[in-house]
Amino acid sequence: MKIILVLNAGSSSVKFALIGIGKEGEEQDLARGAFDGIGQVSRWSVKRFDGLANKEITISNGMASNHKEAVSHILTWIDQNYGLASLTAAGHRVVHGGADFIQPVRLDAQTIAALRTLVPLAPLHQPHNLAAIDSLNELAPALPQMACFDTAFHATIPDIGRQFALPRAITALGVKRYGFHGLSYSYIANELARQNAGLAKGRVLVAHLGNGASLCAMRGGQSIATTMGFSALDGLMMGTRTGSIDPAVIFYLMRDQKMTADDVEAMLYQKSGLLGVSGLSNDMRTLREAAGNNRSAREAIDMFTYRIVREAGAMIAVMGGIDALVFTAGIGENDPELRADVIKGLEFAGFSLDETANNAKNRKISTAMGPVALVVPTNEEVMIARETAVLIDRDHK
């Protein structure tokens, strides 16, 4: 069995998974964990799925003051539990592959340098992905490392949907729609092909609704449109991000309200969305609990729902109709009320909710009439492990 270490580094966290892949492609989750609160009070939690103890520890300030210390801690744990020599390769989630990386790639000095040039396209995410790559390179130089991209799945979007209506010289700089959540969409496309090949060939709208949220219109299992754009800020309203906004708002805030570009960026990414509108939380569970007697919380949920329905309408038009709608990620998988409201909003497209199935957390939540609505749990880590294993096999041939 190959054991793949999957790393997903954010601004203050490094999440990891150990996934085993057998000779016949059978997959096994061995362990998952995270180092949170890097640079603050760090929290280390890890769960083994192969019978041994789970662990959750809060580590006092300074234990992981940077990504390298967090990666080092993860490697130590792996060494103590499995032996570092058992690892076949590592796969990194990398947010931006730019125009060139439309497939997973083996990391070496040249590819890492190329990924560094993409930092301006994803300044809030790419540097953390690179920090994990650099750390692992230093700490385990013999371990093959691969990068798997959130943008790659959307390489099939036609130019007409990819370009902004900007002067060509600006488009030539790479200012266009890339789209994100591609590892999740790719996993869902594979699951659909496995479970229902007929449906997977059709017009499928996937709603990835987590703390980050986007929609992807697929035809024949390929992305033809998505709501995120040049950055992961565009499209739907999210936990703390605005989603689409009239760009003139930004000029107004900078010129008239004297906010700096950094202030506006921080506000749009970290203080808006469900959190900004509710003034309470970016966590949908908290908002649901509060919504009964908190108008702002109710309004935040209603706006979140409205924006999904509105953007879904555009995606359905682009696909020329719809055969299936798939809900996935934290909110999509766990919030039946949200799913019900979205499906009701899409009744114009023929959807009809099966309320009992929706509340019972069934896979299929639509009635026999109209297009199909499904709930399919995503698994980005498994997708990264699969892509990494394929690259390793190819290199060894």
Q: Other CB atoms closer than 10 Å to residue 104's CB: what's the count?
A: 23
Binding mask 42-71 for ligand AMP (x = CB under 6 A): ------------------------------
Looking at 283, 296, 357, 367, which residue binds ligand AMP (CB under 6 A)?
Answer: 283
Residues 309-338 that bind ligand AMP (CB under 6 A): 329-331, 334-335
Please report, for residues 148, 220, 264, 348, the alpha-carbon distance to residue 249 in angstroms, rounded to integers and kept in the order given: 34, 38, 10, 32
Which positions from 231 to 260 touch ligand AMP by CB under 6 A, shown as an x/- string? --------x---------------------
Q: How far is the CB of 184 from ligand AMP (least distance, A)?
A: 9
According to CB under 6 A, which residues from 350 to 379 bind ligand AMP?
Answer: none
Residue 284 as a binder of ligand AMP (CB under 6 A): the answer is yes
Reading phi first (left if > 0) and then psi (alpha if -120 to 50, else beta), residue 220 is in: left
Instruction: Specify the residue, 27 or 283, whose C-beta has the smaller distance to ligand AMP.
Output: 283
Q: Among the options 50, 79, 108, 150, which is catalytic?
A: 150
- CA-CA distance, 150 to 104, in Å (whole number)? 10
Tell me which residue has its CB nearest to ligand AMP: 330
Q: What backbone phi and psi angles, to 5 degrees, belong to 205? A: -105, 120
CB of 15 vs ligand AMP, minimal distance in Å: 10
Smallest gap from residue 110 Cβ to ligand AMP (A) = 33
Does 218 bind ligand AMP (CB under 6 A)? Our answer is: no
Question: Taking CB under 6 A as the criterion, which residues in 132-151 touch ligand AMP?
Answer: none
Contact characters 288-307, ligand AMP, x per CB under 6 A: x-------------------
Q: Is 211 in the site for ligand AMP (CB under 6 A)?
A: yes
Q: Which stretch binds ligand AMP (CB under 6 A): 155-163, 277-285, 356-364, 369-377?
A: 277-285
Handedness of CA 225, 226, 231, 236 (dihedral sign): positive
Q: What number of chain residues touch ligand AMP (CB under 6 A)?
A: 12
Least CB distance from residue 285 to ligand AMP, whole Å? 4
Nearest CA to 8 among 388, 381, 377? 381
Measure the CA–CA gap between 133 and 182, rounded to whole angstroms: 20
Question: What is the side-by-side order of every strand in the sheet holding 14-21?
Answer: 55-59, 42-48, 27-36, 14-21, 2-9, 87-94, 145-149, 105-106
**Interatomic CA distance for residues 4 and 43, integer angstroms:** 23
Q: Is 210 in the site for ligand AMP (CB under 6 A)?
A: yes
Q: Which stretch binds ligand AMP (CB under 6 A): 1-9, 152-160, 245-253, 278-286?
A: 278-286
Tell me how far apart the alpha carbons of residues 291 and 243 are, in angstroms, rounded to a whole number.
Answer: 22
Nearer to ligand AMP, 135 or 184 (CB): 184
Active site residue 395: no
Choose between 200 and 275: whose C-beta lies nearer to ligand AMP.
275
Strands (E), the chain: 2-9, 14-21, 27-36, 42-48, 55-59, 87-94, 105-106, 145-149, 203-209, 213-219, 222-226, 324-328, 372-375
Under the binding rule (CB under 6 A), the answer on residue 94 touching ligand AMP is: no
The helix (H) or strand (E) run that includes residue 336 is: helix 336-345
Closest CA to 142 of 82, 87, 220: 87
Using the minimum distance from each CB to ligand AMP, give the nearer residue, 156 or 211: 211
* Residue of 194, 244, 183, 242 whose CA lies nearest to 216: 183
CB 23 within 8 A of CB 5: no
Query: So which residues are the catalytic ones?
Result: 150
Residues of this chain that bind ligand AMP (CB under 6 A): 210-211, 239, 283-285, 288, 329-331, 334-335
